[in-house]
Structure formats: C-alpha cells, structure tokens
Copies of this chain bind each other. A is one copy, B any other.
Amino acid sequence: MAMQRVSGVRLNEINVPRLFLYHRALTALRDAGVNVVTSEALAEFCANDVTPTQIRKDLSQLGTWGRRGHGYEVSGLLEMLARLLGLDQDWRIAIVGFGYLGHALATFLSYREERFRIAALFDRAPDVVGQRWKDLTVRHVDDLEGALREQGGVDIAVLAVPAKAAQDVADRVVAAGVGAILNFVPVALHLPRRVFARNIDLAGELSILTHHLTGPE
C-alpha cells in the first residue's frame, strides 16, 4: 500500500461520515485479526452502504492506494483515518441537560467510544443536580463556567436542554472556550464563526423518512 502524509488535507464535510464508517469497519476487522482488506470486502463489511468504487475513490483522494489483488493494509489505513478524524487523541466532552437523552449519550459514549471522555455533566432539575454518574457529579447549569474551569475546560459541548434554554447555554459554553457543539435541540443556534456545530434533528430525520414514504410513485 502506498501512503503519503495527509496532514493539511481538509475534507469536505460530506465525506467525513463515510471515513468514520471505514474507520469503524477497519477497527472491527483489526480486532478480528484481519491484516489486509480489499475494497470489496470493506464495502461488504459496511453493509454495502458504500460501493467498492467509492471506497477506492475516497481513499485514493487521501493518497492511499490498495495493491491490486491484495488490498489495503488495515493498520496503516486505520492510523491514517484516525489522525484525519482526530481519533488519535482524547476529547473532553460536557453534556448539558442530563435527562433521558443526556444520560443515553453519556452511557453510549462511555461504553463504546474510548476517545470521547465525558468530563462534565450539567442540569437544572433539583433531583438531577448532585446525582452521581460514574466518577462525576451532575452540576447545576448555573455553575457551568466555574465547573468547566475546575475541570480544566472541555473541547466539545453536547446540548440536550429544553429549546428555550438552548441559545443561552450555547452562548455560555462558547464563552467558556468550547470549540465545537453537538446540538440535539431543535433550535437554530447563533454561534460565532470559530465554533463548529452539528445539529442532530430527530424530527428532521423522521421527516426525511416520511418524505420518502409519501413519495410520488
């Protein structure tokens, strides 16, 4: 496998989820003891959500070519993708809003994704503030700035608060130095340019399904 350094590559956003798919599939393959994989086998492992051609195209854009009739070296490819995706380092995450959704996210991330470390939890409800979760205590959202300072700051804030609180919380985590936001609140946030956000819009996702179910055929 030929491979060049890819630092400096800035992928357009559309491809990143696909690279993450490859990263996840390759991790599973590596853990299963596979050393080399063809684009066909990798596509099959991604449940054919991508074609072998797409995989070869994506990877060649990153300066990586499989050897014909041989395939890609799993560990090298994994290392490159991890570096590109920022998954070769730990990230500190604050979850603001520790209801069912916040709890689900914390549990999910702590079990599955070792690079994402839950560093702080916030809520406003009296029966939630003070709860223990693993080695953390849920803090009152009014103490957000102080608590984040104590923790040495976080990289990413996950917002799972009621809609009316979302912009205020966003402003405060941004002021506290957070660089990226994963927003589950169905509210369009006004954010400074330096802060990168992803919105996960559950009803919006469902509307994509219902649009297709309604489709004119």
**Copies of the chain in the assembly:** 2
- A150 cross-chain contacts in B, Cβ below 8 A: none
- A116 cross-chain contacts in B, Cβ below 8 A: 203, 206
A171 to chain B, nearest CB (A): 13
Known: A91-B213, A205-B198. Is A107-B100 also a contact (CB below 8 A)?
yes
Is A36 an interface residue, CB under 8 A from the partner? no
Is A208 an interface residue, CB under 8 A from the partner? yes
- A208 cross-chain contacts in B, Cβ below 8 A: 13, 16-17, 20, 198
How many residues of A sit at the interface, in one of the four size bands?
35 or more
- A89 cross-chain contacts in B, Cβ below 8 A: 214
Q: Are B203 and A20 in contact (CB under 8 A)?
A: yes
- A186 cross-chain contacts in B, Cβ below 8 A: 24, 112
Interface residues of A (CB under 8 A from B): 7-11, 13, 16-17, 20-21, 23-25, 45-49, 83-87, 89, 91, 93, 99-101, 103-105, 107-109, 112-113, 115-116, 155-156, 179-182, 186-190, 196, 198-216
